[in-house]
Amino acid sequence: MCGIVGYVGDKQSAPLLIEGLEKLAYRGYDSAGVAVIENGKLRIDKAKGHLEVLSERIDGGAAIQSNVGIGHTRWATHGRPSDENSHPHRSGSGRFAVVHNGIIENYVQLKAELIDKGVEFCSETDTEVIAHLLEELYDGELLSTVAKVIGRLQGSYALGILCEEHPDEIVAIRSSSPLIVGLSDAGNFIASDIPAILSHTRKIYHLENDELVLLKGDGVSIYTLELEPVLKKVEEVTWDVAAAEKGGYAHFMIKEIIEQPRALQDTISPRVDDNGEIVLDGITLTAQQLKNIKKIYIVACGSAYHVGVVGKYVLEKLTRIPTEADLASEFRYRSPLVDESTLCIIISQSGETADTLAALREAKERGARVLSIVNVVGSSIANESDDVLYTWAGPEIAVATTKAYSTQLVMLDLIALYIAKRLGRITKEEMRGLLSSIIKLPGRVEAIIESYDDRLRELAEKFKDYEHAYFLGRNVDYAVALEASLKLKEISYIHSEAYAAGELKHGTISLIEENTLVVALAGCHRLFAKTLSNIKEVKARGAYVLAVTTEDNTAIEQEADDVLYIPCTKELLMPSLEVVPMQLLGYYIALARGCDIDKPRNLAKSVTVE
């Protein structure tokens, strides 16, 4: 959830650290800090609050004369946000400094052992035990000392470490928490994510679990925990630096909403050839292996889980294989019925989501074949899957996902069609019709954005002071309601819930009263009349109803207070269109309420701890 950046080389390090941390701010944080070697001494500056507090304190880094340093933005897991709990953390003698993403699961035991030896702690964090262990196990060499410390740790971590006695070195390691290495002629970097260093280099290493890195200004060496050298291939980042910048937009979120047509096009185009065949280059499943699949699990967290709920309807309808959408945070704790005849589809934007990664490993241990849908090449989930499909959405910076959700959704549609075709469970006509509609999705999404941007600004002003909102739908409409509700609550802080419309009378309707916003998703034609009845029920109790339906369902105007019409498409693909005005609605309501849209409170972009 936090951000790490480090640099060693010819340039002044502190300004580069501040710059890198600014690029990682989208991940969510409550404090920030840097550690450098200045005039042969370890110096640490850190502060609770926005990065600007730290930056002003050190004049954007210009006040520090150093060519080596590590920086960190923290999102509290152990200990409240405070200067003391901020990273970097220092060892007792002041010799070592460490920054850490993840959680040390056995820190209580380690802390007790160190206290018994007379070590005094300055913070409430789990990370501080690492700094003191470095001191205790120091053998004169930084790399070997770090390897010994790692042998004592249990949990997930990405670490960046400085030592006063090694003023031209950084040692880093990752285990179940993302970390990359950047290579340049002017020095070398570590970072939690590519945008932190993209303005300085496109050449990177993606680190695997338990790989140690020794960075110097003139080179990078990678080792196993046994200190055996590791040879790695340099990867080239292909997307533009500008793609990770706002490009004139007020917020990353609105920029990324508007980028959805292009992201969809980039995701769809490589997967459909000139003959109308689906080509999934990342899948090696044979026809026989597909025939042996008896059950599919879609496992994910947050918005990616909502993609999975849509996917359940789509996969079962097209493939006739029983499919479950499961929360990754629950999956491995309930003894799931998974074996060699199970296909587990893992979905994650970052490819580093801790709960989702743990669920992947659980599924593999039980014999399932794992197919992942991710956006980050070389991420942990991608590397540990049997098959991987990349969404090619480009960098997504805003905490509230938009284009990642949309590209994950269309990828599941393509997977469902791919499996259905190979199992002979879809006719040529059905295949052609669905594929034709998928190809048209980018243009239809663009039309929705252009048609409703101003209208949704107006509706946002009307709804901004509502305290409660309920999203209703049936079938795939219900799946979209889950995501629409999340979009509103996470960035506007309005209390919002999503319900299957048929469940309304089983309790939820007791909450409907005057000045309650109800958003009714009614794109599912088969169930339109039933949803219309639900609209009447909430209207009778004083709710203000905003309906979303297709252009041919004008009868809804007699019941709803406002209607948003979307283009007609195949029912299974309706979620790809319905979600777009809901993203815009959430954005503009949050804007009208003055919220920090790209960095909503208490949230982080990449959830790398349980």
Q: How far apart are CA 253 and CA 402, in angstroms?
A: 7
| CB atoms closer than 10 angstroms to residue 206 | 21
Q: How far apart are CA 246 and CA 253, in angstroms?
A: 9
Residue of 583, 536, 582, 585 whose CA lies nearest to 561: 536
| Rg of the chain on CA atoms, in Å | 25
Q: Give, to the nearest 10 degrees, the angle between helix 260-268 and helix 428-463.
A: 160
Preceding amide of 261 cis, omega within 30: no
| Paired sense of beta strands 387-390 and 219-223, if any | unpaired
2 is catalytic: yes
Q: How far apart are CA 513 and CA 543, in angstroms?
A: 6
State whether residue 221 is helix, strand or coil: strand
605 is catalytic: yes
Q: How far apart are CA 535 and CA 521, in angstroms?
A: 10
Residue of 75, 91, 90 whose CA lies nearest to 34: 90
Give residue 456's Cα distance to chain centre. Answer: 26
Look-up: residue for tokens 């006063």? 164
Active-site entry in 2, 163, 301, 595: 2
Paired tokens of 16 = 């580069």
* Residue 307 phi, psi (nearest 5): -60, -40
Q: Give, to the nearest 10 degrees, the angle between helix 302-319 and helix 476-492.
A: 170
Active-site entry in 255, 487, 599, 605: 605
Q: How far apart are CA 253 and CA 604, in angstroms?
A: 14
Helix (H) or strand (E) holding 382: helix 380-384
Residues tagged active-site:
2, 605
